[in-house]
């Protein structure tokens, strides 16, 4: 019973973070310049994920770029929002 409750809680948390990441991508304007499959003003999310696929420091690197405006316009978001968005981008296939 406790194991089932724990699994349900974990599944719910994963779903919430996925939704949150999508909301961050929409609300912070990411999708105005980036598309999942094709290049707009910026590279596609798939291209970003492919570029950083083997980079173990990718998440930290991309969060810093977004937070500090290094090679990308500054994104006004919390650290948690940026991390969620970056994880979602890096998981794009």
Q: pLDDT of 28-64, one tens digit each?
A: 999 999 999 999 999 999 999 999 999 999 999 999 9
List, for residues 60-79, the tens digit of each pLDDT value: 999 999 999 888 988 899 99
Task: Identify the pLDDT of residue 21.
Answer: 87
pTM of the model: 0.76
SS3 content of the chain, % helix, strand, coil (to 5): 65, 0, 35
Task: Identify the pLDDT of residue 71.
Answer: 87
Please state, in angstroms and rounded to a whole number, the distance separating the CA atoms of residues 47 and 40.
12
Structural domains for the chain: 2-90 (1.10.760.10)
pLDDT at 22 over 80: yes
């Amino acid at each position: 019973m406790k194991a089932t409750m724990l699994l349900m809680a974990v599944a719910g948390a994963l779903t919430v973070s996925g939704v949150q990441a999508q909301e961050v991508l929409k609300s912070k304007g990411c999708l105005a310049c980036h598309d999942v499959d094709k290049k707009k003003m910026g590279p596609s999310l798939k291209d970003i994920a492919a570029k950083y696929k083997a980079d173990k420091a990718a998440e930290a690197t991309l969060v810093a770029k977004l937070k500090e405006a290094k090679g990308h316009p500054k994104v006004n978001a919390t650290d948690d929002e940026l991390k969620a968005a970056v994880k979602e981008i890096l998981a794009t296939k």
